Structure 1
Amino acid sequence: MKSLKDILYGVSLSAVSGTTSVMVNNICFDSRKVGTDDVFVAIKGLVADGHQFIEQTVASGARAVICEELPRQMEDEVTYVAVDNANSALAIMASNFYDNPSKNLKLVGITGTNGKTTISSLLYQLFTKAGYKVGLISTIKIMVDKVEYATTHTTPDALTINKYLGLMSEAGVEYCFMEVSSHGISQKRTEGLTFEGAIFTNLSHDHLDYHKTFAEYRDTKKILFDALSKRAFALTNVDDKNGLVMLQNTKARKYTYALKSYADYRGQILEKQFNGQLLKIDDNEVWSKLIGDFNAYNMLAIFGAADLLGLEKLETLRLLSELENVDGRFQYYISKENITAIVDYAHTPDALKNVLETIGTLRTGNENVITVVGCGGDRDKSKRPVMGHIASSLSNKVIFTSDNPRSESPTVIMEEMEAGVEPQHVQKILSIENRKQAIKTACQLAAAKDIILVAGKGHETYQETKGIREDFDDYKMVKELLESLGK
């Protein structure tokens, strides 16, 4: 058990009813999980308001309640604490509860629209290969040294983050690389953490259903850098027009990377092939198994971060050449008829454009590019016609299909994508709601040397419809269909 007073250290309190000199078992923000002597934090969420369940949690045995508005009816044996922001309070309390584990290792946050998973995962790979104990908190998984745990959010809730950072601290982990999403920053999930550094990748159209404006989305990302200490480093992509914005108010040491601009870490693409590309980094040539301009930027960010964290440059370059691609990120399969199938997580306009333009630089011009793509339901609707426009402009044939429709109608989502298709490209378009059938049709249409891009879901091994998740793996599906068709 922990002292409530100790757990609340650093939290801005506006009112207290009862004593904070009590012992509590656990912190909960889900009213259904509250048990005897727990402390319940009432969060005002997008769907439900935790304040509505305070009475229920007290009946379940809560010893203390943290809330933004004190309830009218309060029990004498329960401590009620009012705070200015319950999300912020939860994050600081979680850090205190797990003995501030981020102070015991070097935590690096990676933020931006695209590239977070690749950079964090490959930094985990690189530092592991360099002989260190490493942690990873990403969209795909959480790693505590060599032990893997499942994850459901790009940036988990504050309790989950600190729980796993605590496990990392106990396991002797020296470095941890964590994806930091705009949702996570906005909801204060990373507050109370001590970062050794932060990396900015890029900024493009995404999450405007949540942030409402691009400026708000950008400024939310910037909060991560604003909170860095002067001992930390801030590494940013200055080829992105928002790169220098991230550095405007940070106290951290400032560093830049770029392919096109003057920067502290500068790179150049010398040669591209389907199985990799030759890069020039820090005046040294290095072969990377990852292709595309976007991956060249990722390699630069990784090289810069490794240098700032103290790795020897030539050793880092050697390790860069050994890094393997991340599942669902330009993951490709070549069939016996030399049809190349590429699976990529591209679910934003910029990411889709990057992948299709990369494919364009690698093709001879005689192959057809067949793109299968959808858009997620209950997410930013404004990007759907843009995605439709990009797919139809840069492909020979496009099949719009279901992604994770969630509570929305797949037909409506596809129609909104179709709205972005220019008249001269309409003849390229097919709309097939069933994702398996859409991928099968692409495989049937493909001839020798053609290229199939299945975009949007990447590493995901499920499809979510009306609250139900069913097994669905794009890479496995396209590989099996090409094999079954004898291609």
Structure 2
Amino acid sequence: MKILSDILKKYKYDLVNGSEQTSISGIAFDSRKVEEGTLFVAIKGAENDGHKFINNAIKAGATAIICEDTSGIEAKNATVISVQNSRDALAWVAAAWYNYPSDTMKVIGITGTNGKTTTATMLYNVFRELGYPCGLFSTVKILINGQQMNATHTTPDPLAIQGTMAEMRDAGCEYCFMEVSSHAVDQDRVKYIDFAAGVFTNITQDHLDYHKTFKNYIEAKQKFFTHLSKDAIAIYNADDKNGSIMVQNTKAQCISYSLKKPSDHKAKILKKEMDGMMLHLEQTQMWTMLTGFFNAYNLMAVYSTAIQFYNDSQELLRVISKQKPVRGRFEHIISANGTHGIIDYAHTPDAVENVLSTVDEVRTGNEQLIVIIGAGGNRDKTKRPIMAQKACRYADTVIFTSDNPRNEDPEAIIQDMKTGIPIEFTGREFTIESREEAIKVAVGLAGAGDIIVIAGKGHETYQEVKGVRHHFDDREILMKHFK
């Protein structure tokens, strides 16, 4: 139980009704979760406006309301607080409610179009192996010192973030590694978190269904670095053409990494194989079980971040060299007859090209490359034909199939993709709406040494059709048909 004035201390607001000394037993921004004594924060969302449910929240027992629009509220005995931005206020009260957990640990946020999960997960694993208690927020899972919680979003809502970080604090975590999505930044989900460092991996076309323009998408990512404090560190990919733009307005100390341009930390790829590569980094040759240019950048992001907090570079490189690929990120499986399967989360044009160009660089050219690809429904439609074009550029055969169609017609999504097929590739593609059937056909087409790339879902263990999630695991299905 807390007093409302205590969790709003130093925050700008107007008291419309009631008393700031009201006792609060919990916070909710979903009226269905309101109980007696709850502070209800009304959020204007993309689909629903919480302001419509204020009176429902009061009837359910809410003793205080934070909102932007106070008209039509049947306040009675409830305290009503008016603010300029409810999302911002939710982030503030969430941090205050859980007693500012980010103040007690080093929080490192990783943002970018691709590489967030691999970078965050490897940082978590590296620091755990170095002996530090750690927490992780990732697309795949949330971890607190090895204990797993299910992840529902790349970056959760402020209440979930602060509540989980409080658990991390109470478990003695010294570090917290967090994927930071552009949606989370734009919606103030990570505001009022004291970040010790921010990491930028790269930026390419994605989420235009939400941001509308690539410029808006860049600005959302940039906002994360602009909000870093002067005591923080901003670590960025100097080879990305927008890398320096990301940090141009930050107050934080800037550290760069690269494979090409001059930077604070630079590496060179010496050799690439299907199951790993040799890097030259910090005057040391290092073999890693990850492969490809995109993973070299991920490893550089990990090293360039870790060295800011752990200054034994040789020990750091030793631990980094032991890291395995993250589940569903260039995950390599070989069948009994020698067919290679690669499962990857690639769901943007750039990610598709990264995976397929890596395969192209390590293949002999005597084997078939079969690509299974789809695109998510109710998401950016403009990337669909570009993804198809990228797949056709590298593959011998492409099978267009269903990804997570959500509330769209799977066949319509596939037809959107197929408009990107180059004329010269016509006749080398299949359309198989059933994703399992597509995998089965690919395995049937492949022989010893051939390569099957299954793109789009990676770690996901479900397929969302007409708003319902059904169990589906690319790895599970591939293993089934490999046998």
Using the size of structure 2 for normalisation, the TM-score is 0.99
The alpha carbon displacement at 1:147 in A equals 1.2
1:209-358 to structure 2, matched below 5 A, reads 209-358=209-358
Which AA in structure 2 matches 1:160? Answer: A
The whole-number CA distance in structure 2 between the counterparts of 1:282 and 1:426 is 47
Shift of 1:73: 3.6
Aligned ranges 1:15-94 → 2 under 5 Å: 15-94=15-94
| Per-residue Cα deviation, 1:56-104 (whole angstroms, up to 9, x for no partner) | 0100000001101013343231000111111111011100000000010
Counterpart-to-counterpart distance in 2, 1:194 and 1:243:
22
- Secondary structure, counterpart of 1:161 in structure 2: helix
Higher mean C-alpha deviation, range 389-398 or range 4-13: 4-13
Deviations 1:409-463 (A, max 9, x none): 0000000000001110111111110000011111111111100000000000000
How many angstroms does 1:14 deviate by?
4.1
Give 1:477 shift.
Answer: 0.7
**CA-atom RMSD in angstroms:** 0.8
Q: Which residue number in structure 2 is paired with residue 423 of structure 1?
A: 423
Corresponding position of 1:409:
409
| 1:466 corresponds to | 466
| TM-score, with length taken from structure 1 | 0.98
What one-letter code is carried by the residue in structure 1 that aligns with 2:98?
A: Y
Q: Which runs of 5+ in 2 are unaligned?
A: none
Counterparts in 2 of 1:313 and 1:16: CA distance versus 1, 3 Å: farther
Percent of aligned positions that are identical: 46
Q: Distance in 2 between matches of 1:426 and 1:14?
A: 64
SS of the residue 2:355 aligns to: helix
C-alpha separation between the residues in 2 aligned to 1:379 and 1:266?
A: 36
Q: Distance in 2 between matches of 1:146 and 1:229?
A: 30
Size of the alignment, in residue pairs? 483
CA contact (8 A) 1:238 1:258 kept: yes
Q: Match of 2:307, SS? A: helix
Tell whether the 8 Å contact from 1:274 to 1:362 is kept in structure 2 after alignment: yes
1:383 maps to what in 2? Answer: 383
Equivalent residue letter for 1:122: M
Structure 1 outlier segments of 4+, above 6 Å: none
Distance 1:341 1:120 in 2: 25
Q: Aligned to 1:382, what secondary structure does the other structure show?
A: coil
Please tell me whether residue 188 in structure 1 is matched to residue 188 in structure 2: yes
Taking the aligned partners of 1:83 and 1:122, their CA distance within structure 2 comes to 40
**Distance in 2 separating the partners of 1:285 and 1:183:** 38
Q: Does the 8 Å CA contact 1:15/1:83 hold for their aligned counterparts?
A: no
Aligned counterparts, 1:99-178, within 5 A: 99-178=99-178
Contact in 2 for aligned 1:374/1:455 (Cα 8 Å): yes
Q: Following the alignment from structure 1 to structure 2, what is the Cα–Cα distance between the partners of residues 282 and 121?
A: 22
**Preserved CA contact (<8 Å) 1:63 1:78:** yes
Equivalent position SS for 2:370:
strand
Q: Is the contact between residue 9 and residue 93 of structure 1 (CA under 8 Å) also seen in structure 2?
A: no
For the residue of structure 1 that corresponds to 2:454, the secondary structure is: strand
Aligned counterparts of 1:155 and 1:233: Cα–Cα separation in 2: 20
SS in 2 for 1:9: coil
Long gaps (5+) in structure 1: none
Whole-Å Cα distance in 2 between the matches of residues 112 and 10 of structure 1? 32
- Kindly provide the amino acid, as one letter, of the partner of residue 358 in structure 1: T
